[in-house]
Amino acid sequence: MSRKVGAAYTKNGTSRFSVWSPFAEKVELITKQPPRNLPLEKDPEGYWKGEFKELTPGTLYKFKLDEEDEFPDPASLAQPEGVHSWSKLEDTSFEWEDFDWKGRDLDEMVIYELHVGTFTPQGTFEAIIERLDHFKELGVNTIELMPISQFPGSRNWGYDGVYPFASQDSYGGIEGLKKLVNACHQNDIAIILDVVYNHLGPEGNYLSQYGPYFTDKYHTPWGSAVNFDDEYSDQVRRHFIDSALMWLEEFHFDGLRLDAIHEIIDRGARHFLQQLSEETDALEQKTGKRYVLIAESDLNDTRLVKDYQIGGYGLEGQWVDDFHHSLHTVLTSEDAGYYKDYGKMEYLAKAFRQAFVYDGKYSEFRKRTVGNSPEGLDPHKFVVSIQNHDQVGNRLLGERIASLVSFEKTKLAAGVMLASPFVPMLFMGEEFGETNPFRYFVSHGDKELVKAVQEGRKREFEYFNHAEGDFPDPQAEKTFEESKLNWNFRKDPSKNAIFEFYKEMLRLRKDGAFDLFRTSEVKVKSDEAKKVLEVSAAEGNETLYGHFNFSDKEIFNPVSVEGAAIIIASSDKKYGGKETAETLIQDGSLKIPAGSFVIYRT
């Protein structure tokens, strides 16, 4: 196996095992049935290894350290009995049918973030396959799975995962996951995986029992930081990089979304992210496929996506919170917590033009200067959204945008994102105005931990008193069930209208209708009093205009009727509105109804 750790069943019938435990004096491989204690040999780097012909796929095993404690494999591929129990030796062979698939560049992607457990009633990898036609009709060409590494119980967002190499058993494990990836590629859909390398969850995390995987040099919101630059960090870095490369090479994922990289603390000369990016580039050369690495970061630091040659980490893209916050606050007038740094039309205009609002600008909320300038970077380096798991699920009641603003403003929000020059990302259900909440949920087995999570979540809403109501218990199954999508949207005229609107916006985007907004010559203006955003860009004799009205009053703008052609109007009757092109352009003026937008060209 190319991985330095874990278990692998080879084609010649040999099973190989490797675990890193540099301070142990003795490590044995133990099996459940029949009970065996098999010795492992230590190499100079602290890896304990062994090869055995008598062990076959399905064998349940643990490692025994210094003839005392027994723990699951920290690089386990499968935990069928849960995070505290036996690891399983897997035969990972699979009949792939995607050999012609070469990946997809980030600038071509329309991303759809989903949570496996709540996306379908079944909550499995294979159930997603049944919805691939939905993505194709919609115009989405890339799906992004929230984390799937094995976590405690069967209900979790995935950020409490404790086995970075194992795919969640209750979702369908290795077989179900590979079937999903294979089917995506056969349907011309790329698939990205959200991975968490800044921490491990609190329940079932046995890494510290094996060696110095964590360091007290730094602390994160989850405790001691993962050891990326302290003593013995070479092997720790290898552990997580091998996890990343495994998902790309062995599971055929097209890229990774890297969770909260501002908590990956590495002060070495070659940052972990740069090493990961360089080794991913090498994998591209090996496989002939394209892979994308997308960072989630609240630092607004362009170093993440700049080339190695100029001191960057070489990642393909990064999430942009500023775009979401600017749009959300203008729509809702919310100003609690970090939202106090936004809420102005000029900030939304700045976000539309260059993604970052805080580009070396002082933040009142953080009480410091934040970010640097993105000038000169291609727009496709930035992934934007109007909803995602964080911004919905970290609300008190988990309300989606369709529950917070009017029907028309729901379309307005989508219009700003989909017409923007950046890579758009939808959150599951937003394409039909889902109103079911998406809430934070867990199914921990440790009662004290459950209590700590419940109390911790309540404290988190010190700043964000978004809504009144009973606090949803994260441990309750009801909280999870209420977060599932309602797929009967076709029966609701309003929801179906939103779906048709998203389809048309994505079709127009694919056909290049908004490409002029991607040019460096784009002009973006805002009017704070009128709550209007105006975007324009010209090339040759053609000019593209976008007028976005965030007010509760209709407005009129002068327009040359001769040669003016409306590309899309969110208030059109086709999308549940009350207007037509004929009613919007009259007597030399363009009407933009309250909470709507019009994009046209002359």
Looking up residue 580, the CATH number of its domain turns out to be: 2.60.40.1180
Give the pLDDT score at 59.
97
Please give the DSSP secondary-structure letter assigned to residue 485. -
Give me the active site residues, please.
259, 296
Residue 131 in any domain: the answer is no
Residue 423 in any domain: the answer is no
**Three-state secondary structure of 451-468:** HHHHHHHHHHCCCCCCCC
pLDDT band per the 50, 70, 90 thresholds, residue 463: low
CATH code at 73? Answer: 2.60.40.10
Structure tokens at 116: 């496996």
Please list the residues that pair with 532 across neighbouring strands. 527, 549
- Taking residues 473-492, what's their average pLDDT? 96
521 vs 155 pLDDT, higher one: 155
- Taking residues 230-250, what's their average pLDDT? 98
Taking CA 68 as the corner, what is the angle to CA 62 and CA 70, rounded to the nearest 5 degrees?
Answer: 20
Last residue of a domain, which of 73, 88, 103?
88
The number of folded domains in the chain is 2
Residue 131 has pLDDT above 60, yes or no: yes
Residue 542 in any domain: the answer is yes
Residue 586 in any domain: the answer is yes
pLDDT band per the 50, 70, 90 thresholds, residue 179: very high
- Residue 348 in contact with residue 533, Cβ under 8 Å? yes
Backbone angles phi, psi at 187, to 5 degrees: -105, 15
- In sequence order, what DSSP letters do the residues of 272-338 get, joined into one string? HHHHHHHHHHHHHHHH----EEEE--SS--GGGTS-GGGT----SEEE-HHHHHHHHHHHH---SGG
The per-residue pLDDT for range 415-461, each reduced to its tens digit, is: 999 999 999 999 999 999 999 999 999 999 988 888 888 877 777 76
- Residue 504 in contact with residue 520, Cβ under 8 Å? no
Residue 322 in any domain: the answer is no
Residue 466 has pLDDT above 60, yes or no: no
pLDDT band per the 50, 70, 90 thresholds, residue 563: confident
Give the pLDDT score at 454.
82
Residue 570 has pLDDT above 80, yes or no: yes
Give the pLDDT score at 464.
52
Give the pLDDT score at 242.
98
The CA-based diameter of the chain, rounded to the nearest angstrom, is 88
Give the pLDDT score at 453.
84
Residue 560 has pLDDT above 90, yes or no: no
The per-residue pLDDT for range 44-91, each reduced to its tens digit, is: 999 999 999 989 999 999 999 999 999 999 999 999 999 999 999 999
Please list the residues that pair with 224 across neighbouring strands. 219
Non-local (6+) Cβ contacts of 87 within 8 A are 7, 60, 61, 62, 72, 73, 76, 77, 78, 79
Name the burial class of residue 255, with classes exposed (0-12), middle (13-18) and buried (19+) by CB atoms within 10 angstroms of its CB.
Answer: buried
Q: In this structure, which long-range contacts are made by residues 534-540, counting pairs with CB atoms below 8 Å and at least 24 apart in sequence? A: 535/352, 535/419
Which residue carries 């309602």 as its tokens? 486
- Taking residues 303-316, what's their average pLDDT? 95
Q: Which amino acid is at 447?
A: K
Structure tokens at 595: 């909470």
Residue 389 in any domain: the answer is no
- Taking residues 509-531, what's their average pLDDT? 95
Strands 382-384 and 423-427: parallel
Residue 378 has pLDDT above 60, yes or no: yes
Handedness of CA 103, 106, 108, 113 (dihedral sign): positive
Q: Three-class SS of residue 196?
A: coil
Mean of all residue pLDDT scores within the chain? 95
Structure tokens at 518: 């991607």
Please list the residues that pair with 556 across neighbouring strands. 591
Rounded CA separation 49/28 (Å): 9
Residue 112 in any domain: the answer is no
- Taking residues 154-159, what's their average pLDDT? 96
On the question of a cis peptide bond just before residue 437, with omega within 30 degrees of 0, the verdict is no
Give the pLDDT score at 1.
60
pLDDT band per the 50, 70, 90 thresholds, residue 333: very high
Last residue of a domain, which of 88, 115, 135?
88
Give the pLDDT score at 468.
54
Residue 75 in any domain: the answer is yes
The per-residue pLDDT for range 274-285, each reduced to its tens digit, is: 999 999 999 999
pLDDT band per the 50, 70, 90 thresholds, residue 585: confident
pTM over 0.95? The answer is yes
Q: In this structure, which long-range contacts are made by residues 280-283, counting pairs with CB atoms below 8 Å and at least 24 apart in sequence? A: 280/244, 280/245, 280/248, 281/314, 283/245, 283/248, 283/249
What percent of the chain is modeled with pLDDT above 90? Answer: 90
Beta strand extents in 44-88 (DSSP E only) = 47-52, 60-65, 69-71, 87-88
- Taking residues 517-540, what's their average pLDDT? 94
Give the pLDDT score at 105.
98
Residue 570: which domain range? Answer: 523-601
Counting every residue, how long is the chain? 602
Last residue of a domain, which of 88, 121, 155?
88
